[in-house]
Structure 1
Amino acid sequence: MSRQVSSLLAIAVVCVTLAPAPALAAAPKKAPVDCSKVKCIALTFDDGPGQYAGTLLDTLKKYNAKATFFLEGQYVKSRPAFVKRMVAEGHELGNHSYTHPDFTKKEIWDIRAEVKKTQDEVKKAAGVEPKLMRPPYGLTNLPISDVATEFGMPIILWTAGSEDWASKDVEKIKKQTMAVAKQDSIILMHDWVKQTVEAMPAIVQSLQKKGYHLVTVSDVIKGEELKPGDAFPVPQGWSNQ
């Protein structure tokens, strides 16, 4: 083979190697769920991320279900990888304080510090800040509302609970969750309860078989037009007006 032909072949190989690969077609984006047209439920998990959060996220991913996690800053700091994964997989994050004190027994500057530290830890872990707040124990008052307003967050409570923290029993958690499941429910659960995480595959499948879409809290409350500091569901004796 002549040097000229060899040179031409070498140039051809380089050109093929350097040629840009054809662009892959982008996967079509899934349309957002409209809870005014379909049955929706928001499963919410408090006090995490717990040590079993990875298994829970695996279950949610397997069944294409979304959830809302109300996180404690102290656990965000110790388990940041879970928080980053929650965001990457389309779940919603909420602020549940830093160390879980009863906010109704705290001065407003202490409440503010708890919320701020958690916002900062979540931002550090996942690059986002929570847009919702759930005070510890679901207890709220005007100073707590004032702090939520400062941070631009409505206060999200729940319509019903799984009572998982009390029973710590897989069958009881499944039974209670299905008993309180209704259109637009916001159900309280905990990802630190091992039995809750064990029950989740059956719970998710049962809800989906009943026609429910498992969505985030923001999907469920979209029509409520909540302002920062508003509480939902509205506690007895409370007014958002």
Structure 2
Amino acid sequence: MKRLVAALAVLAALAACGQAPDRVHTSADADAPVVVRPMVFREPDPDMRRGLGPDGRPDLCARAKCVALTFDDGPMEHTERLLEMLARYDAKATFFVVGQMVEEFPEVVRKEVEQGHEIANHSWNHANLASLSADGVTAQIQRTQDAILQHSGYRSVLLRPPYGSSNAQVAKIAASFGLPEIIWAVDPLDWRDRNSSLIARRVLSQTGKGDVVLLHDIHASTVDAVPRILEGLAAKGFKFVTVSTLFAGTELKPGHQYRERHAAVAR
């Protein structure tokens, strides 16, 4: 019941702009000591943050036909089925998670990390960050950073503002956290049209080399579309990589927006 209530709350936030918490809440605020399951800490490689691969050279995506599939708003009950699909194609993805759902499905976030996917910040409760005060934006980002780290041992290095809604204030606060804003180049409107065939056709027809693709693992219809998306893009020679891998060789500046490899939105 607790998970159902939290899930419904997040879905309601997707239909209307959410409100920020009254203050920043970090793991240090909790009355009880934080208990973290033993795990390997996944601190992002500093060379990757500078845009270099582990061997000090630009990543393969400078030459290969790479695409970054990104999944927003989870985790939720469909996410584990999605992970099985991705594993069959040895595909890596980036999950822009909502902090409230990380709290409800921590074991799913751990599976995402264990399987080599990237975890990134998508706010605490899917609030429209551009409509909040500075304290509200900070709280949304901080609480989610804390939840990801606490439950998975992974430190997020990317932010996706809900609805893609940002402004100068959001950019400044994102920069203070060291987080570039990752938007998208391809939106198949899976959040609006719950038709798996239509979703797959849009992704296959619109996706090009170096694109960031927006999808949502909270919708069964989107997860149902993934096998066709993976099969179709693989047949075209695409490699499925995380956002950080896609942009290796390109400096991602905190507070700046990126939609595809080598493309930034000017402030």
Task: Provide the TM-score with structure 2 as the length reference.
Answer: 0.75
Corresponding residue for 2:44? none
Would the aligned equivalents of 2:59 and 2:249 in 1 still touch at CA under 8 Å?
Answer: no
Partner SS state of residue 86, structure 2: helix
Residue 93 of structure 1, CA deviation: 1.0
- Alignment partners' CA distance in 1, 2:188 and 2:116: 23
Residues 1:239 and 2:263 are matched in the alignment: no
Residue 202 of structure 1, CA deviation: 1.4
Corresponding residue for 1:200? 226
Corresponding residue for 2:92? 66
Superposition CA RMSD, Å: 1.7
Corresponding residue for 2:101? 75
Residue type matched to 2:178 in 1?
Answer: G
- Alignment partners' CA distance in 1, 2:134 and 2:77: 31
- Alignment partners' CA distance in 2, 1:155 and 1:168: 27
> How many percent identity over aligned positions?
37
Corresponding residue for 2:147? 121
Residues 1:50 and 2:49 are matched in the alignment: no
Question: How many correspondences in the alignment?
Answer: 208
1:145 to 163, 171, 188: 171
- Alignment partners' CA distance in 2, 1:211 and 1:125: 35
Alignment of 1:13-32 (within 5 A): none
Offset from partner CA, 1:32-91 (integer Å, 9 cap, x none): 961012100000011111220000000001110000010000000000011001111110
- Alignment partners' CA distance in 2, 1:110 and 1:36: 38
Q: Structure 1: 5+ residue runs without aligned partners? A: 1-30
Partner SS state of residue 60, structure 2: coil
Residues 1:133 and 2:171 are matched in the alignment: no
2:193 to 167, 170, 174: 167
Offset from partner CA, 1:127-177 (integer Å, 9 cap, x none): 011100000100111111111111111010001112111110011011111
- Alignment partners' CA distance in 1, 2:245 and 2:155: 18
Q: Structure 2: 5+ residue runs without aligned partners? A: 1-54
Would the aligned equivalents of 2:59 and 2:248 in 1 still touch at CA under 8 Å?
Answer: no
Partner SS state of residue 212, structure 2: strand
Residue 209 of structure 1, CA deviation: 1.0
Corresponding residue for 2:216? 190
- Alignment partners' CA distance in 2, 1:162 and 1:156: 17
Larger Rg computed on CA atoms: 1
Residue 222 of structure 1, CA deviation: 2.0
- Alignment partners' CA distance in 2, 1:238 and 1:40: 20
- Alignment partners' CA distance in 2, 1:43 and 1:122: 20
Offset from partner CA, 1:167-191 (integer Å, 9 cap, x none): 1001101111111110001000000
Would the aligned equivalents of 2:122 and 2:162 in 1 still touch at CA under 8 Å?
Answer: yes
Would the aligned equivalents of 2:174 and 2:180 in 1 still touch at CA under 8 Å?
Answer: yes
Residue type matched to 1:217 in 2?
Answer: V
Partner SS state of residue 166, structure 1: coil
Residue 193 of structure 1, CA deviation: 0.9
Residue type matched to 2:257 in 1?
Answer: A
Residues 1:98 and 2:119 are matched in the alignment: no
Residue 232 of structure 1, CA deviation: 1.0
Residue type matched to 1:239 in 2?
Answer: A
2:111 to 73, 82, 85: 85
- Alignment partners' CA distance in 1, 2:225 and 2:78: 12
Corresponding residue for 1:228? 254
- Alignment partners' CA distance in 2, 1:143 and 1:33: 32
Partner SS state of residue 153, structure 1: coil
Residue type matched to 1:135 in 2?
Answer: P
- Alignment partners' CA distance in 2, 1:69 and 1:233: 15
Return 214-223 or 86-95, whichever deviates more.
214-223
- Alignment partners' CA distance in 1, 2:224 and 2:114: 23
Residue 228 of structure 1, CA deviation: 1.1
